[in-house]
Amino acid sequence: MTNSPKPASPILETTADAILAAKTIMREARYGAIAVLEEGTSHPIVTRTNCALTMEGDPIFLMSDLAAHTKGLKQDARSSLMLGEPGKGDPLAHPRLTLIGNTTRVNTLTKSEQKNEAAQRQRYLNRHPKAELYNQLPDFHLYRMKVERALFNAGFGKAYTLTRDDLILNEGLTEKLKDAEPGILGHMNEDHADAIDHYAQAHCNEEGGKWRLTGCDPEGVDLMRGEAAARLAFKAPCTTVDEVRKALVTYA
């Protein structure tokens, strides 16, 4: 009796291009579908939620204690988040990314944690300005998904499994930019609006308009115009303000 050949794996070898494409989906996303285990029954439930990212790349959410998905996360932090816009035509032909990890409320017990929480909350508000309406309500709290791994479908026949190290930056890379980010964004948005509009048109293939920067990290900057979002990736990681400035000048 001969052994039947094993079927070929549909998972491709991870490439730099696949990682960049997955990161772009993450950085551009402003909402996604989060799956949790329902409180009391442990049945999977899925809901649409707004999201942003920490500077490292973990998703963050501003969630109400009254929401079913929040109650589920308090019972069991295991969760997944699907990101990716379907676009025109067959929705299954467009890239989508499913992040898998644990989503828990951001702790604010120490002064350091409070500072970190405030910075993450501001990143969320930069992406969702209208969320300021409920940002101060007592039942809304910041939650963060610690990504463990991801499933990336880049189109028909293009499936990848990605690790946390593939997608999430080490805090050593972001340390010097965290305190500087508000100043970078303020300076660019107030004094260099024309440059930001140029980035959107020339390097992100977007229409011109009133674009603004909403985030900066070692690998690029995030742009928004109304509800539209775009990503300008740097050619090499930037860990200081001067390196970010020089990188942005090269795109001017």
> Domain map of the chain by residue range?
10-168, 169-252
User: Which residues, 6+ apart, have CB-to-CB distance to 37 below 8 Å?
Assistant: 43, 44, 45, 72, 75, 76, 78
Over range 131-136, report the average pLDDT: 93
**Residue 55 and residue 123 in contact, taking contact as beta carbons nearer than 8 Å:** yes
How distant, in Å, are the alpha carbons of 48, 81, 246 from that of 45?
Answer: 11, 12, 46
DSSP-derived pairing of the beta strands 44-50 and 31-37:
antiparallel
Half-sphere exposure of 139 (CA within 13 A, CB side): 6
How distant, in Å, are the alpha carbons of 129, 153, 156, 202 from that of 14?
Answer: 36, 12, 16, 29
CATH class belonging to 169-252: alpha beta
Alpha carbons 77 and 135: distance in angstroms, whole number: 22
Q: Which residue has the higher pLDDT, 10 or 126?
A: 126
Closest CA relative to residue 105, chosen from 67, 138, 65? 65
Task: Decide: helix, strand or coil at residue 145.
Answer: strand
Give yes or no for residue 4 having a pLDDT over 80. no
pLDDT the model gives residue 155: 85
pLDDT the model gives residue 110: 87
For the entire predicted model, the pTM comes to 0.93
- The CATH number for 10-168, chosen from 2.30.110.10, 1.10.340.30, 1.20.1560.10, 2.40.50.100, is 2.30.110.10
pLDDT tens sequence across 195-251: 999 999 999 999 999 999 999 999 999 999 999 999 999 999 999 999 999 999 999
List, in sequence order, every residue forming a beta bridge with 232; answer none if it has no partner: 221
Give yes or no for residue 5 having a pLDDT over 70. no
pLDDT tens sequence across 6-59: 677 889 999 999 999 999 999 999 999 999 999 999 999 999 999 999 999 999
